[in-house]
A and B are shown apart, each in its own frame.
Chain A
Amino acid sequence: MRRRTARRGHGGGRQEVPRGVRRWGRSFTRRDVAVLGVLLGTTVLLDVLVVWGPALASVGLSFTSWDGIGGIGDIRWVGGDNYAHLVEDYPAFWPAVRHNLLWVAFLGLLATPFGLLLAVLVDRGVRFSRFYQSVLYLPVVLSLAVVGFMAQLLLGTDQGVVNTLRGNRNDPVDWLGDSRVNLWMMMLAASWRHTGYVMILYLAGLKAVDPALKEAAALDGANERQTFLRVTFPTLRPVNVIVGVITVIEALRAFDIVYAVNKGRNGLELLSVLITDNIVGEASRIGFGSAIAVVLLGVSLVFVVTFLVQELRGAREK
């Protein structure tokens, strides 16, 4: 492993620190070990208890049938039945999968590139760029519940701004109720927040790009677009990875906003909503809800693992 690091490190032009020096500070007294044990132990225990344990338990529960009311003894093993049922005769499942994928595509292909564009423009240091930056970022601090409500204000049927502007009060478009358009409106509202987030991340990345690189490119006669595409963008790789993961995860996690608008029904079905409905709702079909959760977990893990592999590779190259 370490030999490989040394070879990889070659391209970075940085020298590998000799092993003896790198391992400094590794001799611990008994008190050190106690402090480390208690504090690291608490963190790991909490993470296992709250995150990884439940995630694994969800996988287990997805093969069972349980109403959650009776004791744990009522849990019955049903094998893959939940999954079969999910795929074959749960009408909301495939629409929800489609909506989630659409959400990923919408954020990834529209909102994220738009955020990058805004970051590049703000980074050019025109006057008032601080003001622009603040305004564009402001939606990020809003709760999605509030965003959902604002969507109602703008898009509502009777007095909503958009319908008033269109001047068709007798035949208003039901932007949030009509299942042909409401998902798009929700994705627009989610993008409103997502764009600012992406912009800030890229802004930081752009600030860290060595200006000497751009100057060198300019000296070589590259125009602004070429400089960006060939020089700046490739050096943003670590940011690209993070933004990519945030985009996908945000899209898969989307919940609050549709829940605030109509509890995720009638065209706004998402996997997260189906899970909540099955588990918290009156039906309380916990095994079945967990099966949906596992599908979501699987999709998320694919992206998370890709991200971490990229991260680690990046860290090793340094």
Chain B
Amino acid sequence: MSADIRVPSRAGGPAPSLRSSGPPRPPRRGRFGVHLFLSAVSLVFLAPLLLAVLASLRPYEETAERGYFSFPEKLSFDHYREAYTASGMGEHFTNTLIVAVPAVLVTLFLAAFTAFAVARLDLRGGVALLVFLTAGNLLPPQVLVTPLYVLFLHVDLPWWMSDSMSLYDSYWAVILVNIGFQVGFCVFVLANFMRTLPKEVLEAAIVDGAGVWTRFWRITLPLCRPALAALATLEFTWIYNDFLWALIFISDPGKLPVTSSLNNLRGQFFTDHNLLAAGSVLVALPTILVFLLLQRHFVAGLTLGSGKG
């Protein structure tokens, strides 16, 4: 699967017989050390996650008395039920989906077309457009916050679009900002990907008299399916995890995304950390599941833009 993503930069390169006859084997001595090192690092990397899961299963009294690094006696899923209901997580999760799904779809559509125009149509100023969009994606979000805030406050929307009657405090604001901010990265990645596609198909289509739209929608886009799948998973995780935009553009607590619902679990004077741990695990669960299920796409998505060496 990942083979069709790999950049065919060495097509017809090294003689394949040389490789298959036996790759040079690294010395045996080093292997054990590598395993030891990698498993140690993996353990350290997993530890915080495992700890959070363990803490979420234990009653507060037990960990309060003996600390988190102790042998568990009672395990239960009570915290999960409580975390889910107390934070209104179901509702906030819906909010996240309301923002993330359209944002990902529109971003990918616009980015794919722009990438197609830049990489496949050889327009004048194509490179400048690419630079313009990519650089925008690299700016720190805080730089954009104030003007956007003021702008959104002054754009009125009819009631059926937003019950706050303005772009501020509406899902539209968060969706728009996410699209505008993420489109640069997707164009960058997709343009790099499209450059690796064979030109012959497009040339044939031009001979047949296909217009720009047909060349994009019917011919190029289907070939980009692996890249699009990768970007979709990536972008979904990023937008899911983001909480800055919602924090600034949403004031109605009922509209906040799932990442900020964790704050509902913090008491003013007392916080049950085990409950919060259960909440964190619940919030992290969708992205972890997406990652584990679509791992190959996901990893490929990060590497699409860079692996063009």
Which residues of the partner chain A approach B148 to less than 8 Å between Cβ atoms? 50, 54
| Contact stretch, chosen from B38-46, B75-83, B157-165 | B38-46
- Contact at A161–B144, with CB atoms within 8 Å? no
Bound Cα distance from A75 to B42, whole angstroms: 54
Query: What's the tally of chain B residues with a CB closer than 8 Å to chain A?
Result: 111
Bound Cα distance from A24 to B149, whole angstroms: 45
> From DSSP, what is the main secondary structure of chain B's interface residues?
helix
Which residues of the partner chain A approach B213 to less than 8 Å between Cβ atoms? 31-32, 35
- Contact at B136–A296, with CB atoms within 8 Å? no
Which residues of the partner chain A approach B139 to less than 8 Å between Cβ atoms? 51, 55, 297, 300-301, 304
Task: Give residues 89-124 of A contacting B (CB, 8 Å).
Answer: 118, 121-122, 124
Task: Give residues 76-93 of B contacting A (CB, 8 Å).
Answer: none
Which residues of the partner chain B approach A275 to less than 8 Å between Cβ atoms? 142-143, 145
CB distance from B269 to the nearest CB of A (A): 15
- Contact at A279–B146, with CB atoms within 8 Å? yes
Bound Cα distance from A161 to B10, whole angstroms: 50
- Contact at A255–B48, with CB atoms within 8 Å? no
- Contact at A308–B121, with CB atoms within 8 Å? no
Q: Beta-carbon contacts of A266-282 to B below 8 Å, as 1s and 0s?
A: 00000110011001100
Q: A46-B110, A143-B259, A204-B307 are in contact. Are A68 and B150 (CB under 8 A)?
A: yes
- Contact at A142–B140, with CB atoms within 8 Å? no
Q: A153-B55, A160-B67 are in contact. Are A35 and B203 (CB under 8 A)?
A: no
Which residues of the partner chain B approach A249 to less than 8 Å between Cβ atoms? 138, 140
Which residues of the partner chain B approach A210 to less than 8 Å between Cβ atoms? 10, 13-14
Residue of B132, B145, B237, B308 with highest tally of chain A CB at under 10 A? B145
- Contact at B303–A203, with CB atoms within 8 Å? yes
Task: Give residues 227-257 of B contacting A (CB, 8 Å).
Answer: 237, 240-241, 243-244, 247-248
Residue of A36, A149, A165, A211 with highest tally of chain B CB at under 10 A? A149
Q: Which of the residues B37, B41, B277, B306 comes within 8 Å of A238, measured between beta carbons? A: B306
Q: Beta-carbon contacts of A124-137 to B below 8 Å, as 1s and 0s?
A: 10111101111111
- Contact at B31–A126, with CB atoms within 8 Å? yes
Interface flag for A57 (CB, 8 Å): yes
Bound Cα distance from A193 to B55, whole angstroms: 21
Bound Cα distance from A294 to B146, whole angstroms: 12
Query: What's the tally of chain A residues with a CB closer than 8 Å to chain B?
Result: 120
Interface flag for B197 (CB, 8 Å): no
- Contact at A152–B45, with CB atoms within 8 Å? no
Which residues of the partner chain B approach A236 to less than 8 Å between Cβ atoms? 309
Inter-chain pairs besides A39-B110, A280-B247, 17 sampled, C-beta below 8 Å:
A25-B122, A25-B202, A26-B122, A43-B114, A43-B187, A47-B184, A51-B144, A143-B240, A153-B48, A159-B67, A204-B302, A204-B307, A279-B145, A293-B140, A297-B143, A300-B138, A308-B134
Give 11 pairs: A residue, B residue, CB < 8 Å, sorted on A: A29-B211, A31-B212, A55-B144, A132-B38, A135-B46, A141-B237, A143-B283, A146-B262, A164-B68, A196-B45, A297-B143
Interface residues of B (CB under 8 A from A): 6-7, 9-10, 13-14, 18-19, 23-24, 26, 31, 34-35, 37-39, 41-42, 45-46, 48-49, 51-52, 55, 63-64, 66-70, 110-111, 113-114, 117, 120-123, 127, 129, 131-151, 176-177, 179-181, 183-184, 187, 202-203, 206, 211-213, 215, 237, 240-241, 243-244, 247-248, 259-260, 262, 273, 276-277, 280, 283-284, 287-288, 290-292, 295, 298-299, 302-303, 305-309
